[in-house]
DNA sequence: AACTATTCGGATATTATTGTCCGAGATGGT
DNA sequence: ACCATCTCGGACAATAATATCCGAATAGTT
């Protein structure tokens, strides 16, 4: 599992909020958890985290909900969402958990895994929220079954 | 985290046992957990699992410990160790947790992740226990800091 | 036969993750 | 002013992962 469950929900929620914002709508917690098929209360917690980390915006009160700034959406990278939710990138860690795994002191899997790790990092750093939302808007991908 | 903690310990333990067997020694639980820097009791559980799954052999009683068949070592793949310990391959799962994520019904990360997933699977299927143990024996890699 | 070193297996404990509940505060509408 | 509908935030609960403990069984040694 590259993402924790919280992260999975967080990414899907962010994509949905961005998608709605692109279409001029604001998304409520109820909508979001329905659309991404996630537990409502738990999703609320994750959304709060995304708000605190300035990835999305919350609007309180009646007719409130969550939005995303259109310019921000284009700049927000997947890695920022992961860091906001998990606090840390567990891809930084050695696959076998060695404290000082490195080129000069590698674990038995290091050399086989380093390319994979690099690819994962690249994906996290390059993929934008806009990219993901667009693919959903265009019907090229979906957020639930 | 591609591997669970139990898996990390299991892989390192298997590599150490194989290494010792290649050198004609039997490894005790105490040795193993010292050499791979893991909690003894927890490691014992994991070793039992590896034994039950025929990846290593246990010898009870005084002067007992764990061994690995030399021919078996060459055939044992990383993926077998992971499956023995985790029971399931969580790389099979969709990165965003969709039940039916596929080429025709992809999640927003599917296309970017599928190559990575394939590479991970290839690594797990191709890497042998012998390969890892040899790299440790040759001083090319290590099991602890 | 007794002693010691070891694995085995079940019960239990701890910690992290995931998930729920509910009251408080905010906001728009009537 | 009141009400309905939201988010916020803290406390709590459930589950899963990680870790420990201990008595039993096994086998070599004396």
Mean pLDDT of B46-63: 98
pLDDT of amino acid A126: 98
- Name residues 38-57 of chain B with a Cβ under 7 Å from nucleic strand C: 41, 44-45, 47-48, 51-52
Strands B57-59 and A57-59: unpaired
pLDDT of amino acid A12: 98
- Name residues 17-36 of chain B with a Cβ under 7 Å from nucleic strand C: 28-30
pLDDT of amino acid B39: 98
Q: How far apart are CA A60 and CA A48, in angstroms?
A: 12
The C-alpha angle with vertex B14 and arms to B8 and B19, in degrees rounded to 5, equals: 125
Mean pLDDT of A116-130: 98
Mean pLDDT of B61-90: 97
Across chain B, mean pLDDT equals 97
Of A108, A141, A144, the CB nearest to B141: A108
CA A64 to chain B, closest CA, distance in angstroms equals: 26
The share of chain B scoring above pLDDT 70, in percent, equals 100
B16 touches strand C (CB under 7 A): no
Q: What is the pLDDT of residues A58-74, one digit of tens each?
A: 999 999 999 999 999 99
Across chain A, mean pLDDT equals 97
Q: How far apart are CA A135 and CA A130, in angstroms?
A: 8
pLDDT of amino acid A1: 87
pLDDT of amino acid A80: 98
Predicted confidence (pLDDT) at residue B70 exceeds the cutoff of 90:
yes
């Amino acid at each position: 599992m590259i993402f924790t469950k919280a992260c999975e929900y967080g990414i899907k929620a962010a994509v949905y909020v961005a998608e709605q914002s692109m279409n001029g709508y604001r998304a409520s917690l109820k909508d979001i958890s329905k659309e991404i098929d996630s537990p409502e209360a738990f999703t609320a917690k994750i959304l709060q985290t995304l708000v605190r980390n300035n990835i999305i915006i919350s609007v309180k009160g009646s007719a409130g909900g969550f939005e995303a700034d259109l310019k921000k959406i284009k700049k927000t990278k997947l890695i920022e969402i992961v860091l906001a939710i998990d606090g840390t990138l567990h891809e930084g860690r050695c696959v076998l958990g060695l404290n000082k795994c490195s080129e000069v002191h590698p674990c038995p899997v290091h050399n086989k895994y380093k390319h994979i790790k690099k690819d994962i990092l690249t994906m996290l750093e390059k993929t934008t929220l806009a990219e993901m939302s667009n693919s959903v808007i265009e019907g090229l991908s979906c957020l639930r079954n």
